[in-house]
Amino acid sequence: MNLSIMIIIGLIVYSIAAMTYVYRWRGKARYDSLSQYLRKSWPIFAPFNCVLYMTTRSFAKKPILDADFLENIEVLRANWTIIRDEAIALESSGVFEVIKTPGADGYYDVGFRTFYKRGWSKFYLKWYGTTHVSAQRLCPKTLELLNQVPAIRGAMFSLLPAGSELSLHADPIGSSFRYHLGLVTPNSENCQINIDGQTSTWFDGKDFVFDETYPHFAYNTANSARLILMCDVDRPMNIFGRIFNSAYRILVKGTVVPNTPEDKRGLYSAIFKFFAPFRQYSIQFREKHFKTYKILKFILNLTLLCLIFIILYGVVYLFEMLFLMN
């Protein structure tokens, strides 16, 4: 057995172990079934995320954290009413409704697309190296404050209307933690988020941090909407984790989604928008020919998986030929 095949087998074994760990043993909350895990947790990213879990600093290896570890976070806490006022102005303008309207520039969002149907909406401020032009125009004070907190990689305003919910899910890429700052909330236990079985309530001017790769869900059964500032912040890690994450985070940079036509669109976001009509056709086909759809989907996924391993084998074999062979 040559070295390339041994490396491929090792990577396959590690990947299966990582996916199994996330499904069966990580945290306390469990998915109802393997099918739900496959649909709600993006297990393909588990092998990469597990590297981050292993290199996360010990104090941060839990679902919910106090935000005190974030450098200069007091800037946001002390000026939360300034942020709130710009968010309220945005909501009053109707932009949150426009963004979640099919065909709008902000509608085609590969990361948050499924939330629109439940009433949720958002307005991006900055996203992994890209500052939205629309945010500079409409929320200049908030951006000025955000730029004073070095750990913030991405930020948005997030709106969860009264009577809405977000079903159980886990975010795919664990390169960051999620920061929430309450702006206009029901200030009630009728509006909460549950992360790995632990419940946290949003309150005006109060914040917390959580690891969004744990299973979580949210609901707002109050009579008023929940409006918050939501940020991606650096995961606290050792030096090896930070080096690995600097490369891993490149994936997220391609998911930039515009709010309006003046904003940039990332590569993955553009690809998702291009294929969106075909996705709609596939949904219609599934509804009419469910059994055929399942068979075709299985064949497609198996083909893609085989292509990934063929490409991986080629890369490993090339590396072996160039650097390990005399």
Mean of pLDDT values over 115-131: 94
Distance between start and end Cα atoms, the chain: 18
Residue 306 banded pLDDT, cuts 50, 70, 90: confident
Q: Residue 10 and residue 26: Cα distance in Å, rounded?
A: 22
Structural domains in the chain plus CATH codes: 60-266 (2.60.120.330)
Whole-angstrom Cα distance, residue 203 to residue 181?
Answer: 8
pLDDT bracket for residue 7 (50, 70, 90): confident
Tokens 């992360």, located at residue = 195
Chain CA centroid to CA 242, Å: 19
User: Tens digits of per-residue pLDDT, 94-114?
Assistant: 999 999 998 898 998 988 878
Average pLDDT, the chain: 92
Say which residue, 324 or 96, is predicted with more confidence: 96
Q: Quick one: average pLDDT of 126-138?
A: 97
Which residues, in sequence order, are bridge partners of residue 121? 159
- State how far the alpha carbon of 318 is from the alpha carbons of 32, 48, 102, in Å: 42, 22, 45
**Distance separating alpha carbons of residues 265 and 280, to the nearest angstrom:** 21
pTM listed for this prediction: 0.90
* Residue 133 pLDDT exceeds 60: yes
* pLDDT at site 81: 98
CB 258 within 8 A of CB 104: no
The more confident residue out of 149 and 2 is 149
Residue 172 pLDDT > 60: yes
**Distance between CA atoms of residues 292 and 274, nearest Å:** 24
User: Does residue 284 register a pLDDT over 90?
Assistant: no
DSSP for 257-299, written as a single string: --SSTTS---HHHHHHHHHHHHHHHHHHHHHH-HHHHHHHHHH
List, in sequence order, the alpha helices (H) in the chain. Answer: 3-24, 34-40, 46-55, 74-78, 80-93, 95-99, 133-138, 140-146, 239-248, 250-253, 267-288, 290-319
Contact 262, 131 (CB under 8 A): no
Count CB-CB contacts under 10 A for residue 33: 9
Torsion sign, CA atoms 170, 171, 177, 182:
negative
